[in-house]
Amino acid sequence: MFTRRSMMGSAMAAGLMASPLDAAVRFNRREAGFDITLGAGVVTPIFVDAADLPGVRRAAGDLAMDIGRVTGTDAGIMGAPLSLPARVIIVGTLGISPLIDRLAASGKLDVSAIRGQWEAFTLQTIAHPLPGVAEALVIAGSDKRGTIYGIYDLSRTIGVSPWYWWADVPVVRQSHVRVSYGRYVQGPPAVKYRGIFLNDEAPCLSGWTTEKFGGMTAKFYARLFELLLRLRANYLWPAMWNNSFAEDDPDNPRLAQEYGIVMGTSHHEPMMRAHKDWTDRKAHLGNGQWNYATNREPIRQFFREGIERNRDHEVVVTVGMRGDGDVALASSGDLQSDVALLETIIADQRGIIAQGMGRPADTVPQVWVLFTEVYKYYDAGLKLPDDVTLMFADDNVGNLRRLPLPSEKGRKGGFGIYFHMDMHGGPFSYQWVNSSPLPKIWEQMNLAHEYGANQIWIANVGDLKPLELPIEFFIAMAWDPAVVDKDRIAHWTRAWAACQFGETHAEEIAFLLARYAKYNGWRKPEQLRPDTYSLENYQEAERVCAAWDELMRRADAVNAALAPDQRDAFFQLVLYPVRACANLTNLCVAAARNARFANQARASTRLEGEEVRRRFHEDARLRDAYNHTMAGGKWNHMMDQTHIGYFDWYPPEANIMPAIADVDLPEGAAFGICVEGSARSWPGYYLPPALPPLDSITRRPTWLEAFARGTQGVTYVVTADQPWVQIREDRAFGVSPSDRRYWIDADWAKLPAGTSQATVTLRCRQNGQTIAVTLTALRATPSQEIQAQDTFGGLVGAFTIPVTAYRRSVPVNGVRWESIPDYGRFAAAMSIFPVDAPSCADPSRSPRLDYDLFLGETGDYHIDLVTSPTLEVIPGRRLSVAVALDDQAPVIATVFTPENGPAEDFLGARHPANTAGGARTMRVTVHADRPGRHVLTIAMVDPTLVLQRIIVAKGEPPASYFGPADA
Amino acid sequence: MFTRRSMMGSAMAAGLMASPLDAAVRFNRREAGFDITLGAGVVTPIFVDAADLPGVRRAAGDLAMDIGRVTGTDAGIMGAPLSLPARVIIVGTLGISPLIDRLAASGKLDVSAIRGQWEAFTLQTIAHPLPGVAEALVIAGSDKRGTIYGIYDLSRTIGVSPWYWWADVPVVRQSHVRVSYGRYVQGPPAVKYRGIFLNDEAPCLSGWTTEKFGGMTAKFYARLFELLLRLRANYLWPAMWNNSFAEDDPDNPRLAQEYGIVMGTSHHEPMMRAHKDWTDRKAHLGNGQWNYATNREPIRQFFREGIERNRDHEVVVTVGMRGDGDVALASSGDLQSDVALLETIIADQRGIIAQGMGRPADTVPQVWVLFTEVYKYYDAGLKLPDDVTLMFADDNVGNLRRLPLPSEKGRKGGFGIYFHMDMHGGPFSYQWVNSSPLPKIWEQMNLAHEYGANQIWIANVGDLKPLELPIEFFIAMAWDPAVVDKDRIAHWTRAWAACQFGETHAEEIAFLLARYAKYNGWRKPEQLRPDTYSLENYQEAERVCAAWDELMRRADAVNAALAPDQRDAFFQLVLYPVRACANLTNLCVAAARNARFANQARASTRLEGEEVRRRFHEDARLRDAYNHTMAGGKWNHMMDQTHIGYFDWYPPEANIMPAIADVDLPEGAAFGICVEGSARSWPGYYLPPALPPLDSITRRPTWLEAFARGTQGVTYVVTADQPWVQIREDRAFGVSPSDRRYWIDADWAKLPAGTSQATVTLRCRQNGQTIAVTLTALRATPSQEIQAQDTFGGLVGAFTIPVTAYRRSVPVNGVRWESIPDYGRFAAAMSIFPVDAPSCADPSRSPRLDYDLFLGETGDYHIDLVTSPTLEVIPGRRLSVAVALDDQAPVIATVFTPENGPAEDFLGARHPANTAGGARTMRVTVHADRPGRHVLTIAMVDPTLVLQRIIVAKGEPPASYFGPADA
């Protein structure tokens, strides 16, 4: 028999959802255990007391069908304990199911770990639990949802994904299903209320539900409730874009209660009323104004109805008031009078709650959400009743705006978090596919957890699909943060992939899932522009396209290897986003080339325009495949969201093809060139072309490209006037087969130390025209070579330091820099742990990282710290970090200075760019008083700063999105 | 007999070039006069002494041929005074031609007005001047060029345009050519040296001269010298982009001297050396560095050769030194050491000049040009020898940077101006067609004249063509500013048109010439962008396109009416630029619609893209017509300059078609709308559509547009819920025949005073979908209507005040606001005259303009003064103006404050926009303490400020280029 502890260990190894069952369910009979399959199409029946809660009995019915999905035979359900068979699954809720209580009382069922807990459950195999019963698998919950979660835990572990319907994940048929003998315990969850908010639901979810369910009806919500319970979520803010949960279908609230879903309303819809409830009837409500100062009694009546109709329902009531619709409250005069008005509103609401619910207000869960402008009322001193949960919001893009202060802790209502994985609004909308990498979600929600905002976690998930993965991650983390520790995210993702697609391809699919979100985190797809990635520096656009193309190649390979019945699920969960995002990136880069090539008067400008058009049609084709072909059109409209052509925060009315230019080409043979590092072309620009210098330490080749500028094709002879110049012809970056790239490198053995110069000459075979390009090569001296060993940097040029490549990490008092694997733009990021360590004003005594550098010259160097766009989560903590070169005094970089803070803050001037790319660059300048080897130290000042990369440059580094490529 | 004075009067009436001959030449025999035609193919011969200057004799030969061009028979040339016929034209130079001197000595030739003058001449008819000669027409010059100008003055007045070859202006055959008896005197010129700079000469002038003359040879320059003399210019900076005047063809300097052209070199090529002279031989000149500090003796030798080879030539020597090529001097350390170095250089140069020329340096004309950065050395106190002309430059876009201070006046060398009508460089290049309206040239060069910068005027004219008109204007103004006074510019232009095309269409052609330049002055064509003009406000883009289209229509009508032999000239001088610029504007606006329509998901997006492509091809077709068809291909390459697709200051390598977008259209019927004032479209945007309010005072209708958004065509039913709403259907602005515009107006008779609301509803006939648009109408009370009479403004919205529409202009001590007709963006501008009036610190005592306004509301109003981008021409004069509402204290607006001055100055942050559009907006805010009638006063503080328009708005006015349209 396994103890809980040992099971937890194995659960942690298994990852997903922290279920101890993961390792206990066997699809063979090699080890002893409780058989769910009994052979010859017979399966073990399920007992659930007819007097148990309807939601529990309904879930038991699901289990019966799930067993059928796995085995081919639905399990029978027995409601009376009179004639139980020899082998039975017994389901019930402690304190409600007499049989469960009897087993507990008898000592055969150990409920010590769950009794009195919130949403806990145990699964136990019990030999001879009752007379005539040889063995039973007992699923007992501490409460209604505890039991339900236990039921679905078994469903999932026997092979029914929570997404079996919502993502068409096929259930693998099993002849044998056996649960190892033992006791498996789960719960209580770390976060009491864990849920999602269906939002921004047009055109996708609205169109789909209208077509499939005739709207947001109970048929739709029943499907959703089941999913939420299978995910161990318990809380829902229903769709509210011209939708009213309670009024669109009166069965909705009733079913929520039956299923066991705790209902709320969104942050701006108080008192269990949809905004649509208001707009539908405001003409008849007093003066029709959503203004508590001018239309108080009608609004109170409106509130009253919302509470009264939920008298018997489990709810978390949103309190407070914003404006008419998802906008700010109309001011009553000044901030203090607004605060006073809000305090009155909340006090009145609590009176209505107490009266409507028939019990003291402080026994009814309530939440006040500090969304957008609502913060200011709290900052201005609004007094909130202690039992109301204070919910902090993120910045709409997954960066928390606020965490509980030590002085605020202990409030009875605790703290919650309103998080976004989808946004319709500022700083920009992102409503298409997943662009929230799990490590980023983890990093921010880990702050919430560690700082004590654990009462409610709710995520805005847009249309729900295609955010299946981050939704489940968010809920799993809310259930038990320990199992999705930063070093286990990849593991969790692999387990998730295995749950949907089996073990064979799980590793690869997890890679694909993580990578596509990571790449979308480089730049939100909606915020991709043709000029996002540099064409001239670091081959940046090429490398980004290559990364996406490689991802697509691998996704296609998995797709080909999967069973046919897995392909619908694979398409929606993996293949569509990978292909569509790869296509979109290539589309944007082709548009960039089209524009650049036009500027360079390339004949291939037109080919790039055609490529843009082709990719634009491909995007529509992929969308149509999702909507119409996949799963027989089951998800029609779910991919209706426009995503190409954002010109402000609002989604475009149609996908807009990036504009394509054309050039007026002369007849005949003409050619031009461009060189790495420059957008210019020659012949033309008055300053002669020069290649970036070659460096014997960094040893990167450089390149130039040659291309036709007339209607006739041209070819070139490329020569150099020095024997050490190496030239290799390649295809240019672009779709033209005839544009050429020439890689230029040095045969260092032929070069002396110091600076050498050469001229590379291109001659056009067709018209005899020549262009000479200057090349410089810097060869290190032997002493420089020794100094540069195992360092970053070189003789010349900007360079990059991967943050995990420190020579030394120095912890102080248990506080240290640790890596967050796969976080952000690069392979890993570094941050301070524990995340709630106190700030350290003296960076000479704080945890630090030392990096070895080689600097080619004396002089000032910019140290650009690419950090995450962390906000001022603890008011007054300015988010500083210290940088020092060698033994020089540290230079402190600070984000939230009085001057720059407003721009860096939520909806500040730099917020859109920070969040579109998930990065904020902090610059300090240091002085190297000699060339050669140096030590760069990054020392903590404040926790919560996340360091993604260090870029070092003398002067302004060449323009690019990521900075210099890795060495 | 006419006196000079009376002739001047008539010349002023005739306009062009201030020639008194204009009114004296008759092509009939109705009045008495000297006959050049003698009947039966016989013409009056020309006597020019064989001992007269070769340049005079050569010009006399041109006159003989010009008479032939007019009459069909070349005049004979006689070189010996022995047997003169009864009627003869006698040409000669005072002090050189013995015959002229004899006539003068005899008293028959009155040379009192020209003797000893610079470049003066007289034409006199003399009865019985010599024995056996019945009458003579004597052309006598005070000096060589005086005589030559006199010769060409006769040529021009008998019908040979200075541009007969350079613009293919046909000469009208005349049977009778008679000069009224009298004495006609001209000169001396107001500006001693008047010239042009051929610059930025690739690809046009270079390509053309290579094809036609084998390069910048003497054959080319002879044509140019003749043109310059016919224009009464005397000074030339030769082409120098990889061209060397003296070395490309050794005949060039010799011919210049013979013709009588004073040669110089450009501002950055000292000592009569081309920069190419340096680059061709620098490898053999010391260390090869163009650095006087490190390579002194070789550079001195280089200078010496430049002077020595011009020992016998009339030159103005450029002194000083800039960097290697047209770039700044490499600093020798700090500014003071640079100044000292430059002083040394100039002192050395003067030593070389004295030695090389064999006479004192102060007898050799010299110029030092304060181009771009060179100002700083002068500002830093560089001591320039008094005889060297100090030449101020403009800002490369026709705005003078500096004028002589009273304290600087009296310097022997005086002051010059280097002016641009073409630029290759900062703030942006403009090298295509004329974009310098004459009133703007006048306004700035009038400052030069009035402030005393009259020693040298030189204009950078690019490739020369197609700047024929402004070149001649610039030279004519330099000859005699009085004849091109601000109120006579239109008249001068008409005379110029008559000179090229005859009287019949002169008025219309002058209009076309003035308008196309004016419209190009709205926005330099190179700086036109799709978003330059507003699509949503004031129908701005529509009105601009309509203006260009009307111009094109009128130009086409003239073209059709002209004689066939006039059409080449008309094409190059008028039709090409009108058509090409009209096409370019329409091209840009179509690109704007394409982008906007994409954002609005209009099906017609694609049609606009096709329109862009069509217009782009039309541009190439027009260029080809100029290069290949016009005048039989005589001007091939002259229109090679790229002009579409500027992406920075440098001209694009090829014309780049503005990029065109496309949208992903759904199948079937869908429609959308947009409303005036908004770029948004509906259905879509979450805030409902609302039209701008209607105002019973301003009485402008408003509009909305409806369009298909799907593949199917759609039609609409548009209705209003109020009887006062008037709806009129129209075609939408764009190329789509099916997009609809609905004009919405009020039937004011049906409306009460105050605010009324209505809803306009569009219903799509195909799919039944409706959209409701809110409309507001404000009707004035009777009292408001009375107050608003004869004012500007209305109940609501921004409005505009034409600056000439003042109620009262109050002069002070002879200083007053006067209009400059046709100046700038609108019909006229106002500025202070005299232009060198002293500043007035107290605006309550300064010249002012009062305007009557009607303001609909109490509150703050922005008063945006659209002024010209005048620079700080007198250092320390900050360019202020005062604005007052009613009796309130004036608010002073100032351009060159310490904070904003650098941005407004040459190459400052706002300089590109200021100069691309020829306008700078100065904002003051005033407070109206009551609604109703007000007086707005604009009072002078500094002269040289030019006021183009006044825009009044409560809050920020809607985005547009010109501001609100005229009332």
B237 strand-pairing partners: B197
Q: How far apart are CA A501 and CA A518, in angstroms?
A: 21
- Cβ <8 Å between A600 and B685: no
| Residue B888 φ then ψ, to 5° | -70, 160
Nearest-by-CA chain A residue for B658:
A661
Blockwise average pLDDT, block size 10, chain B, 967 residues: 33 48 86 90 94 96 98 95 92 96 96 96 96 96 97 96 98 95 94 97 96 97 98 97 95 98 96 96 93 94 97 97 79 86 96 97 96 88 96 97 94 97 96 97 98 98 98 97 94 96 97 98 97 97 98 98 98 98 98 98 98 98 98 98 96 97 96 97 94 97 97 96 98 97 98 97 95 98 97 97 97 97 97 97 96 97 98 96 97 96 96 96 97 98 98 96 90
- CB of B668 within 8 Å of a chain A CB? The answer is no
Strands B178-179 and B25-26: what pairing? antiparallel
Nearest-by-CA chain B residue for A654:
B601
B398 strand-pairing partners: none
Q: Which candidate from A656, A661, A666 shows the least CB-CB separation from B658?
A: A661
Tokens of A128: 């001879």
Question: What was the pLDDT predicted at B327?
Answer: 75
Q: Which candidate from A613, A657, A663 shows the least CB-CB separation from B656?
A: A663
| pLDDT tens string B105-136 | 999 999 999 999 999 999 999 999 999 999 99
- CB of A207 within 8 Å of a chain B CB? The answer is no
Query: Closest approach of chain A CAs to the CA of B684, in angstroms?
Result: 6
Q: How far apart are CA B201 and CA B207, in angstroms?
A: 9
Strands B880-885 and B932-940: what pairing? antiparallel
Portion 602-641 of B in contact with A at CB < 8 A: 613, 616, 619-620
Q: How far apart are CA B102 and CA B506, in angstroms?
A: 43
Provide, as residue numbers in chain A, all residues whose Cβ is less than 8 Å from the Cβ of B660: 659-661
Strands B848-855 and B891-894: what pairing? unpaired
Query: Closest approach of chain B CAs to the CA of A774, in angstroms?
Result: 18
In a 10 Å sphere around its CB, with 0-12 CB exposed, 13-18 middle and 19+ buried, how is residue B107 labelled? exposed
Query: Closest approach of chain A CAs to the CA of B652, in angstroms?
Result: 6
Chosen for mutation from B429, B664, B685, B771 (greatest number of chain A CBs closer than 10 Å) is B664
- CB of A297 within 8 Å of a chain B CB? The answer is no
Q: Which of A463, A459, A471 is nearest to A432 (CA)?
A: A463
From residue B804, give the alpha-carbon distance in Å to each of A65, A607, B818, B820, B947: 87, 54, 9, 10, 10
Query: Closest approach of chain B CAs to the CA of A72, in angstroms?
Result: 43
Nearest-by-CA chain B residue for A326:
B686
Beta carbon pairs, A and B, within 8 Å: 106
- Cβ <8 Å between B661 and A657: yes
Neighbours of A493 (CB within 10 A): 27
- Cβ <8 Å between A598 and B656: yes
Q: How far apart are CA B732 and CA B715, in angstroms?
A: 13
Nearest-by-CA chain B residue for A617:
B664
The widest CA-to-CA distance across chain B, in whole angstroms, is 102
Share the mean pLDDT of chain B: 95
Beta strands in B709-835 (DSSP E): 716-720, 725-731, 740-746, 754-764, 770-779, 792-794, 799-802, 808-810, 816-821, 828-833
Nearest-by-CA chain A residue for B681:
A653
- CB of B645 within 8 Å of a chain A CB? The answer is yes
Neighbours of B549 (CB within 10 A): 13
Tokens of B884: 């007052």
- Cβ <8 Å between B653 and A684: yes
- Cβ <8 Å between B653 and A601: yes
Contact B765, B717 (CB under 8 A): yes
Q: Which of A659, A651, A656, A528 is nearest to B598 (CA)?
A: A656
Tokens of A955: 């002067």
- Cβ <8 Å between A656 and B663: yes
Question: What was the pLDDT predicted at A15?
Answer: 43
- CB of A663 within 8 Å of a chain B CB? The answer is yes
- CB of B782 within 8 Å of a chain A CB? The answer is no
Question: What was the pLDDT predicted at A3?
Answer: 34
Query: Closest approach of chain A CAs to the CA of B619, in angstroms?
Result: 10
Q: Which of the residues in chain A have pLDDT under 50?
A: 1-15
Question: What was the pLDDT predicted at B18?
Answer: 52
Portion 690-729 of A in contact with B at CB < 8 A: 709
A706 strand-pairing partners: A673, A740
- CB of A665 within 8 Å of a chain B CB? The answer is yes
Q: Where are the alpha helices (DSSP H) in A462-533?
A: 468-479, 489-501, 506-522
Question: What was the pLDDT predicted at A5?
Answer: 32
Provide, as residue numbers in chain A, all residues whose Cβ is less than 8 Å from the Cβ of B663: 645, 654-657
Q: Where are the alpha helices (DSSP H) in B819-917?
A: 901-904, 911-917
Which are the contacts of B63, defined by CB distance < 8 A and separation ≥ 6?
B46, B75, B89, B91, B151, B152, B154, B155
Question: What was the pLDDT predicted at A18?
Answer: 52
- CB of A598 within 8 Å of a chain B CB? The answer is yes
Provide, as residue numbers in chain B, all residues whose Cβ is less than 8 Å from the Cβ of A655: 663-664
Which are the contacts of B42, defined by CB distance < 8 A and separation ≥ 6?
B73
Neighbours of A849 (CB within 10 A): 23
ipTM surpassing 0.90? yes
* Torsion on CA atoms A197, A198, A199, A204, rounded to nearest 10: 160
